[in-house]
Amino acid sequence: MSLKIFNIFVFAIFIFSFFQSCFADDFLENEETINVNSNIKDISSNSSTLDVNTLNCRSCIVLDRASNRVLVGKNEEKRVKMASTTKIMTATIVIENYDLSKTVEISKKAAGTGGSRLGLKRGDKISMLDLLYGLMLCSGNDAAVALAETVAGGIEEFSIMMNNKAKELKLENTHFETPHGLDSDNHYTTAYDLALLTNYALKNKTFLNIVGTKNYTITINGYPKSITNTNELLGSLNGVYGVKTGFTNGANRCLVTACKRDNLDVICVVLRV
């Protein structure tokens, strides 16, 4: 892949994290939806270089998956809030520590969790795998709490597992307090750490399949429910195969994207757009 084509590709990834306000988990009814395909065409025809200082974000990174080399970075080691990109770690912990075929019953606390939701109610019965799809596709905070309670007994206990995993992966500027990522002063990461975490998570086939799914049908209490991925780059930008959107008032818009073209496989992280 030529440098010119690579620059166009990276620029498109970053621009769409800003344009696609509908990626945010808490979608506002008056936000406009941007036509993804038309904007890709415009960007590709008018851009040949990338100046990270012009990007409308506080921090970002493009990481080469094969070498872990930073190809592009802006404040990539600055600690920031991460919103629902937190759920990359949540899903990783669950996949590595629990039987996904098990069916669980939703607690009052999980059902009452605010923000973006899968729509779970107290007493609902759902499989762990379907909870994971609800976690990563529609960014269900209720699903996040249900998963944490099932795997570790509660949010605090699950956060300990998350932080232990962060230490194992040498994510030196990352700390978790919740499985969902709602704003908290001691819940933070960096673009660099998040890219490393994502690279690790994508090596798991279950995680890879979930985050690359555009539409999925889960089952709650024996009844089907269709859900759609909040990441509108899936199926719209060539080569994109994940990963996670995020939005809170403190974190602003966040997006973690994985994309492969020819022999180049990269992770793009954009935080605080």
Mind telling me the catalytic residues?
84, 87, 139
Residue-wise DSSP of 135-197: HHTS--HHHHHHHHHHHHSSHHHHHHHHHHHHHHTT-TT-B-S-SS----TT-BB-HHHHHHH
**Token pair for residue 56?**
């409308």
Which residues are 269's β-sheet partners? 61, 256
Is 144 buried (19+), middle (13-18) or exposed (0-12) by CB count in 10 A?
buried
The gap between the terminal CA atoms of the chain, to the nearest Å, is: 28
